A and B are shown apart, each in its own frame.
Chain A
Amino acid sequence: MKQYVVEKPGIRKSVEEELKRKKVCAPVKQENSANFSAIHSFEEIVWGPPQTVIPPKKYFLPTSENILSFRKRDGGFEVEALNAAEEIVLFGVHPCDLNAIYLTDRIFAEKNQDENYLAKREKAVLIGVDCLTPCSPEAVCLRMDGLNPGDRFDLFLTDIGDVYFVEAASRKGEEFLRGEGRPASEIDHRKLSSVRKQRDELFDQEEKKLLPDYNDLPGLMKRNYVHAVWEEHGEKCYGCGSCNMVCPTCYCFDVEDYMRVDLENGFRKRFWDGCMLEDFAKVASGENFREERFDRLRHRTNRKLNYLFDKWGQSFCTGCGRCIKACLTHIVSPLEIANEIFQRQSV
């Protein structure tokens, strides 16, 4: 990984150069919050809080996407795979979301490669921006190993005063810079360390604590698969699925066909689905394999802290805090569920 120091106007210049050539998407203000959207000028970018309501996963797994078109032809069907992907720059992605994108990348690239996700992903340049203050009281990124993105970006900017400390993890990242900046010096590195140290201290003060050991989260979930907390929380769940929609690592989908009125042409569409919704595991015979709301809450939480953690060696909750904000009944926070179980476990 290469490290540079770039003057603030230099970054502005890079963004403006990109804007001439490509779609640039960044957090922009939307009423009292923010949302990722295509920008037309550098000024529109929201740096730091508020966090976007919907995570950037929507660029790789759109809320709804046509994956197939078909047309009646010679008594049969002509079928065409659809895979729309455009070159975009995603600017201002927070560390928790960079980590989440890395994790969903693993899922869609594993075994049966999902071209519809991967094609969009390959065409995107990820420019991350370090968070120096927690973006909401709900954020628990420091606790859930979401605050440090490692090299999970093309470019990553940290504000170290008058300049940005810039880490470039790929050629795409270097190209974005267009030669702006100079290699980081020993002094710049020291500055970065001290900014990050301050950042960590601040986050440590402000974020809710995780009581169990992070690495024991899968074990804690396994030992407490049967626990009163599931029912107590589950009872209050509306089954609205908001926690799935806003989560950067929730990627489940549904698929449906649509026929145009000519009854000759149609398309197949995939769209976001959520394991907290009642019909998610219900089959034609009427059997529902996760019938109760607590079954579904336990499933969601275990996916984040146990099943996928076990498989990929890291929590699938990156602590972004979105579901905690979205849940009207305040029951869904994986960290708080883990804490409650930890405090009340019988073993």
Chain B
Amino acid sequence: MKTLFTPEPAKIRKAVPQTEFETLFEMELSERSTLGHKPGQFVEVSVFGVGEAPISVSSAPAPSMPTFELCVRKVGNVTNALLSMKKGDHVGIRGPFGNGFDVNLFKGKDIIFVAGGIGLVPLRSFIREVLNHREDYNRVFILYGCKRPKDILFEDELMSWGSLEGIDLQTTVDIAGDDWKGNVGVITTLMPRLSLDPPKTEAVIVGPPVMYRFVISELKKRLVSEKNIWVSLERKMKCGVGKCGHCQMNGVYVCSDGPVFNYAALKEIPEAI
């Protein structure tokens, strides 16, 4: 018997620490040939005996592969337990859940990806999808900010993205020592450098709650229309399927109506940001 709450088995194929607090996992499903996710969707990961946590899928959609990637930051029970697991260990997976990004709306457009800290994890799925179908999209800007240089995620991958034609990668940190040669300052300080073509631009923002307001007001100053701004939100989640009530903001369920929202619609939801 299976119910809405039954996880299916998955195995850890790789566990690669990224920083002191984050590890990138490659998971493999044993009962399905693919997770079949869209960028921006998430799964509920079970560590049996500890609990379940919603985690964004970080790899690009892969229609014929049973593997996918999750990047997890340890903050509590489930995430700490996950980070202590290694290759060959078993977890449970439910999902994918949530709406994800509708990539078709971004085709032929310039895209600005704005990631704060661990917000890069869900965006990486979208960025990789864009790179896999590069000809479908126009210019790509990637702005990434985190607290300190040692918090930078996917460092090698970022470098390789930055070296690609038509991709403008900008990174910044809030605090740095003398050995850091890059930008210091909040993420909005990167925006004036971008040469934008507002009517053709879609912006996608994922980061901590405080970041949204500042980035959105900066984008509006640069004349990016509200309906071209997309965010992915995080809330407490206990089911992922629109029942438990934890993720609700006003009348909207982040787990099933989101987590991806268009800013023009989000403005009508006072509890959103």
**If A76-B9, A112-B242 touch, does A256 touch B75 (CB 8 Å cutoff)?**
no
By the criterion CB–CB under 8 Å, are B51 and A112 in contact?
Answer: no
> A341–B145 Cα gap in the complex (Å)?
45
Is residue B246 within 8 Å, beta carbon to beta carbon, of the partner chain?
yes
Contact check: which of A252, A255, A266, A282 meets B48 at CB < 8 Å? A266
The segment out of A77-85, A160-168, A325-333 that lies at the interface is: A77-85
Decide: A253 near B88, CB < 8 A? Known: A68-B5, A83-B1, A268-B5: no
Give the interface residue-count category, chain A.
35 or more
Q: Decide: A79 and B1 in contact? CB cutoff 8 A.
A: no
Q: Is the CB of B49 within 8 A of A257?
A: yes
Determine whether B191 belongs to the interface, using a CB cutoff of 8 Å to chain A.
no
Chain B interface: which of A144-152, A187-195, A303-311?
A303-311
> 1/0 per position for A227-263, CB-CB distance to B under 8 A?
0000000000000000000000001111111110001
Contact of B52 with A81 in the complex, beta carbons under 8 Å = no
A77 with B90, Cβ < 8 A, contacts A116-B5, A251-B245, A287-B209 known: yes
Which of the residues B48, B79, B238 comes within 8 Å of A79, measured between beta carbons? B48
A289 to B11, CA, bound (A): 34
Q: Which among A35-43, A175-183, A201-209, A273-281 touches the partner chain?
A: A273-281
- Cα A283 to Cα B208 in complex, Å, equals 12
* Whole-angstrom CA separation of A304 from B71 in the bound complex: 38
Which of B146-154, B221-229, B249-257 lies on the face that meets chain A? B249-257
Contact A254 B243 (CB under 8 A): no
Could you list which residues of chain B lie within 8 angstroms of chain A, going by C-beta atoms?
A: 1-7, 9, 11, 48-52, 75-76, 79, 88, 90, 92, 208-209, 234-236, 238-239, 241-246, 248-251, 256, 270-271
List chain A positions with a Cβ less than 8 A from chain B: 67-68, 70, 75-77, 79-81, 83, 107-108, 110-116, 225, 251-259, 263, 266, 268, 270, 273, 275, 280-285, 287, 289-290, 295, 299, 302-303, 306-308, 310-311
A-B contacts besides A107-B243, A254-B238, A289-B271, 8 pairs, CB < 8 Å: A79-B6, A79-B9, A112-B242, A114-B4, A254-B246, A273-B246, A280-B236, A308-B251
